[in-house]
Amino acid sequence: MRAIEIRDLSFAYEGSERLALDGVNLDVERGEFVVIAGPSGCGKSTLIKAINGLIPSFYGGSYKGEVRIEGHNPAKEQPHELFKVVGTVFQEPDTQLLTFSVERELAFPLENSGVSRTEMKELVEDALNRFGLSPLRHRSPSELSGGEQQRVAIAAALISKPSVLLLDEPTSSLDPRAAVEVLSVVHELNRSGMTVVISEHRLSLLLPFAHKLVVMNQGRIVDQGPPSEVILRMANRELVEVPDAVAAYLGLKELGIRFDRVPMDAHQFLDEVRPSTALMR
Amino acid sequence: MIRLSIIEFNEVRYRYPLSDYEVLKGVTFKIKRGDKVALIGTNGSGKTTILKHMNGLLKPHSGNVLIDGVDTRRAKVSDLARKVGMVFQNPNQQLFAQTCWEEVTFAMRNFSFPEEEISKRAEGVLKSFGLWDYRNESPFLLSAGEKKRLGLASVLVYEPKILVMDEPTSGQDVAQKKKIGELIQGFKGDAVIVSTHDLDFVARYFDRVMIVENGRLVADGQAREIFYNGSLEKFGLLEPQVVTISKGLGIGGNPLTVEDLVKEFKEGQRT
């Protein structure tokens, strides 16, 4: 069974004639790391809401097609039933952090799901340890740094031990250091088997460890596949941010420099080029 | 006499009310007419606090800030607002009107622009930012990226002499980022000052870079110099990919863009 299957999904928000999703087909294998990119308003966030069931449960509109997440159908089940299979992290940490301490924040999703008190305590302890949040347990989420807030949000999203993690532009309000810190947590989770679907503008930090890059525009998926192939097809199209390492690769290739693979960041670039330019110096 | 510096900070110190912590610990610099300045530094370093001193929103506890020669503690708020356009990082702090149209026309009405001029400019700016279709809708129904553009549009529309923007590119896509960059390059007023984490953006569109760290100005110079002299590493900032690649390959000329990097590489091959 796949982690996520989306078939011919179309959706328009209530009162809007525009299709926010227009015939979307997407398969995500278990353990895959999938990056969704595309211009603002392309449908990235809507797609994430359609996977975790906020669409159609909370956002009304016209819904066609089918979504399966770990065998569940979000159109027929309530989000709280899906919370055991999928966790979601949103763009602004302050819109999803609700309580006055980190540990309450982690317990909050469980309080609404009928988990026993003993089990709740265990799960919260476990999450505090796993995400290195124990020193922050009594702090108020509102006084944490952006990077810490997003780590709390990830821990809260995963408190019920789902196997799929969705993230909607989780680093866009963070500084680059904090973004790296949050993304490395996500990368680590993926390496231990978690299926990850993440929407982002800043591709340069993500492509080195993504398995699949999906590009959306105007509600449609316009390209998907291995990042090193898709990103080359995206050069000069202004739909997604092409990392400078990739642009430099294209420039140097034209000068006759040989590469064995397309570098996804500066370090991969140097690994590729250094041996062949040794002659140059 | 033409004054050379349009903005002057002299030993500016600042504490937020009810706090003992000094956010700015004696900041001094001058910004000349024609400067395009990027303030960089980690979160919490004091970048936003510096920007908020430029339109008099905050006043220094000691030291002073001169805007076009006038001390912000003595200037009228309305005069400062006319001169210094401020685009906030979080558009929710800036937007307030019932409709997008009202939002972009508000400042012009306050500054008593003629009605005809107001309509003409508002239409132009809404169209160029892709917001014309939303003119009768509430700003708060827009997406995060669109709100940000509306915040920028409602400032640009009255053509302030000094443009101050806090994190203008965060959450923006490639096309919008490019548009904001071109707008900064083509800005005809006196100076543009932004705070940003996006060093690739800085490399492409700014000639002067200041690093703010723990309430102090710790580096000030050309991007070409600052990005290659070890300052970024020293102050915990992530190096742009072009810089890492050029250093790694031993390419000269301190290129800041991919185009420059390829050009320098080519020249290196020839020699």
Find, among B227, B222, B231, B221, the residue nearest to B245 by Cα.
B227
Q: Residue B171's pLDDT is what? A: 79
φ and ψ of B77, to 5 deg: -55, -40
Angle at B5 between CA B256 and CA B64, to 5 degrees: 110
Which residues in chain A have Cβ-Cβ distances shorter than 8 Å to B259? Answer: 251
B66 and B30 belong to one structural domain: yes
Per-residue model confidence (pLDDT) at position A112:
76
Check whether residue B165 and residue B183 sit in a common domain: yes
Alpha carbons A146 and A142: distance in angstroms, whole number: 9
The whole-number pLDDT of residue A83 equals 84
Q: Report A:241-280 residues touching B (Cβ under 8 A).
A: 241, 243-245, 247-248, 251-252, 254-255, 265-267, 269-270, 273-274, 277, 280
Tell me what pLDDT residue B3 has: 64
Mean pLDDT of A35-44: 92
| Contact call for B175 and A39, based on CB within 8 A | yes
CA distance B243 to B263: 14
Q: How large is the ipTM? A: 0.85
pLDDT at A81 over 90: no
Strands (E), chain B: 5-15, 22-32, 36-40, 62-67, 70-71, 84-87, 162-166, 191-195, 208-213, 216-222
If we measure between CA atoms, which residue out of A87, A98, A107 comes closest to residue A185?
A87
**Which domain CATH number covers B61?**
3.40.50.300
Q: Beta-carbon neighbour count of residue B102 at 10 Å?
A: 17
| pLDDT, average across residues A33-58 | 93
Q: pLDDT grade, residue B14 (50/70/90)?
A: very high
Structure confidence at residue B17 (pLDDT)? 83
pLDDT attached to residue B55:
92
pLDDT tens-digit readout, A118-148: 999 999 999 999 888 999 999 988 888 888 8
Per-residue pLDDT tens over the stretch B129-143: 889 999 999 988 887
* Co-location of B133 and B251 in the same domain: no
Is residue B245 located within the same domain as residue B267? yes
What is the CATH T-level fold of the domain A4-225, as seen in this structure?
Rossmann fold (3.40.50)
Q: Does B106 lie in the same domain as B40?
A: yes
Whether pLDDT at B154 is above 50? yes
Q: How many CA atoms lie within 13 A of A22 on its CB side?
A: 14
Q: Which residues of A touch B239 (CB under 8 A)?
A: 266
Q: Which among B145, B170, B174 is the nearest to A238, CB-wise?
A: B174
Task: Summarize the confidence of residues A230-235 as an average pLDDT.
Answer: 96
- CB neighbours of residue A275 within 10 Å: 9
Instruction: Output the CA–CA distances (angstroms, integers) from residue B200 to A62, A141, A234, B169, in the order listed.
Output: 41, 31, 19, 11
Do B51 and B179 share a domain, yes or no? Answer: yes
Q: What angle do CA A67, A68, A72 make, to 5 degrees?
A: 125
**CA of A169, closest CA in chain B: separation in Å?**
8
d(CA B157, CA A169): 30
| pLDDT of amino acid A269 | 94
Determine the average pLDDT of the residues in A89-97: 76
Letter string b/e over residues B36-59, b meaning 16 or more CB atoms within 10 A of that residue's CB = bbbbbbbbebbbbbbbbbbbbbbe
The mean pLDDT of B25-50, rounded to a whole number, is 94
Confidence of residue A281 (pLDDT cuts 50, 70, 90): very low
Instruction: Tell me the shortest Cα–Cα distance from A175 to chain B, in angstroms.
Output: 6
Query: B236 contacts in A (CB within 8 Å)?
Result: 177
CA A253 to chain centroid, in Å, comes to 31
The CA distances from residue B5 to A211, B66, B75, B263, in Å, are 51, 9, 17, 35
Give the pLDDT of residue B144: 76
Same domain, yes or no: B167 and B246: no
* A279 — pLDDT class (breaks 50, 70, 90): very low
pLDDT given at position A40:
84
Residue B31 has pLDDT above 90, yes or no: yes
Query: If pLDDT is split at 50, 70 and 90, which confidence band does A175 have?
Result: confident
* pLDDT bucket at A94, cuts 50 / 70 / 90: low
Instruction: With cut-offs at 50, 70 and 90, classify the pLDDT of residue A228.
Output: very high
Average pLDDT over residues B7-34: 93
pLDDT in tens, B111-128: 999 999 999 999 999 998
φ and ψ at residue B41, rounded to 5 degrees: 150, 160
Say what the pLDDT of residue B196 is.
Answer: 93
Q: What is the pTM of this model?
A: 0.87
Residues B170-210: pLDDT tens digits? 878 888 889 899 999 999 999 999 999 999 899 999 989 99
Same-domain status, B269 and B196: no
Q: How far apart are CA A248 and CA A62, in angstroms?
A: 44
- Average pLDDT of every residue of chain B: 91
A62-80 pLDDT tens trace? 999 999 999 999 999 887 7
Domain residues for the domain of B64 are 5-239
Angle at B140 between CA B139 and CA B145, to 5 degrees: 80
Task: Report the number of distinct structural domains present in chain B.
Answer: 2
Q: What is the pLDDT of residue A275?
A: 66
Do residues B229 and B260 both lie within one domain?
A: no
Q: Is the domain of B257 the same as that of B165?
A: no
Percent of chain A with pLDDT over 90: 65
